[in-house]
Amino acid sequence: MARVLIVGGSDAGISAALRARELDSAVEVTVLLADAYPNFSICGLPYYLSGDVPDWRSLAHRSVEELEHAGIELLLEHRVEEVDATTQTVVTRGGRHRYDRLVVATGAEPVRPPIPGLEHERVHQLHTIGDARLLDEVLARGPERAVIVGAGYIVLEMAEALRARGLDVTLVEQLPAVLPTVDRELGELVREELQRNGVLVLTDSTVSAIEQDGARLLVIGGHLRKEADVVLVVVGVRPSVELGRAAGIPLGPHGALQVDRRMETALPDVFAAGDCTVTYHRLLETDTYLPLGTTAHKQGRIAGENAVGGDRRYDGSLGTQVVKVFERAIARTGLRDAEATEAGLEPLTVGSAGFDHKAYYPHAHEIAVRLTGERPSGRLLGAQMLGHVHAQVAKRIDIVATALYSGLSVDAINALDLSYTPPFGSPWDVVQTAAQAWEHGRHVTAK
């Protein structure tokens, strides 16, 4: 009987396990986890900490019992210390485990910037269920002031979460704008939303140290001196590759494990998937690194299928993302202008705005759109959007993502047969009016 071992029990690992069992009910599938939290939604941590999700256990996509009922053996708190590809075994403190096929799904780990004081007990990172439960205990003691270092997706969500818990919140970012994954114009609108909801935003500020100052901490850097009862440092992640690298898997872009589109590594019978691996970019047609939950689920499913004899290939990522910041939703997909230029393309980005439904129907909300296309060919390259949380921004970025996946031109968006009724949309959806604005901009700049 074939035996598939999977190292890692988050999105990619569990997706691989479920797919393998789905296709081959006779295969033995064992998942080895370093912790005791299989198949939990790390993306949901800010909503647990805000109180929107009262019980951290609700963040589990599936319970241990459900996974075991699917025929998956779970070895909790079994940290894998070595992969021996020659003998096809993995080593834990409890012994050796044989495999016929191995899936490495070790995920990512938080970046720890070289800031003195980062080890203080009231300085937190947020990457695991354990991190969240510890921070929740701290918040339950009633701290008054928080400083968050960083300005990415989780930071913005945590700014809202901590405000919901009644804290004064200061966000510190070394770059000129928050949310650097979108253009500066939209980043400034995000800043306004944060400030409108009581978050002090300090950009162009680099933290040089975190010190004890009486009963509180002091966050220091240049002209920066902010008191805090709790500090949260979330400045990004990097692929967790030590296990795979030591086993002999080559590294690719951003130091991630190199895989092909079948999620195979250079080692025989060893696959890898999720945030520890490179990501094939559908538009750039090359490998990059995009650690996203959606990507990890897809890659894990493919690795699991191929581990039991399949021949599925990963179609590639577009970097489609959306985040809620108080009463705004911000989304992006594909390439921004600078990214396209770096790739050797000739992009044009045009900004426009339109209502999410007919303006005469109550509660219409404006959506700002920045659409990017290739100027010579008219090929669609990407989009960014910002609008009210009830304006279906996520739905509309998905329209663009689908168009990108299908290789449509900007003008072809106008031919899409989208739904319409005044409470929900317009005869020309805001995505289509953005496409028309882009075509107009292309015509004007060509003169």
Residue-level pLDDT at 222? 85
DSSP letters, 309-327, are: T-------B---EEEEETT
Residue-level pLDDT at 214? 86
CATH of the domain at 258: 3.50.50.60
Same domain, 15 and 32: yes
Convert the pLDDT of each residue in 247-287 to its tens digit: 999 999 999 999 999 999 999 999 999 999 999 999 999 99
Residue type, 356: D
Residue-level pLDDT at 292? 94
154 found inside a domain = yes
Residue-level pLDDT at 327? 97
Same domain, 245 and 361: no
What pTM was estimated for this model as a whole? 0.94
54 found inside a domain = yes
Buried/exposed code over 299-326 (b: 16+ C-beta within 10 A; e: otherwise): bbbbbbbbbbebebebebbbbbbbbbbb
- Across the range 282-296, mean pLDDT stands at 96
Same domain, 412 and 425: yes
Residue in this structure with the two tokens 């005791």, named with its chain if needed: 36
The H-or-E segment that residue 387 falls in is strand 380-388
345 found inside a domain = yes
What is the spatial distance between Cα 112 and Cα 114, in angstroms, rounded to a whole number?
Answer: 6
313 found inside a domain = no
Residue-level pLDDT at 153? 92
* Domain end marker among 173, 203, 233: 233
Same domain, 72 and 51: yes
Same domain, 243 and 174: no
| Domains of the chain: total | 3
118 found inside a domain = no
Query: Under 8 Å CB-to-CB from 147, ≥6 apart: which residues?
Result: 169, 170, 171, 172, 217, 219, 226, 228, 230, 231, 232
Q: For 292, which DSSP code? A: -
Where residue 447 falls among pLDDT bands split at 50, 70, 90? low
Same domain, 153 and 257: no
252 found inside a domain = yes
Residue-level pLDDT at 215? 87
Residue-level pLDDT at 223? 87
Mean pLDDT of the chain: 95
* Domain end marker among 202, 233, 264: 233
Convert the pLDDT of each residue in 212-224 to its tens digit: 988 899 999 988 9
95 found inside a domain = yes
pLDDT at residue 94 is higher than 90:
no
Same domain, 105 and 247: yes
Domain of 335 in residue numbering reads as 321-446
Convert the pLDDT of each residue in 174-188 to its tens digit: 999 999 999 999 999
- Percentage of the chain exceeding pLDDT 90: 96
Count CB neighbours of 169 within 10 A: 23
Convert the pLDDT of each residue in 306-344 to its tens digit: 999 999 999 999 999 999 999 999 999 999 999 999 999
105 found inside a domain = yes
Sign of CA dihedral 372, 376, 338, 441: negative
Residue-level pLDDT at 444? 82
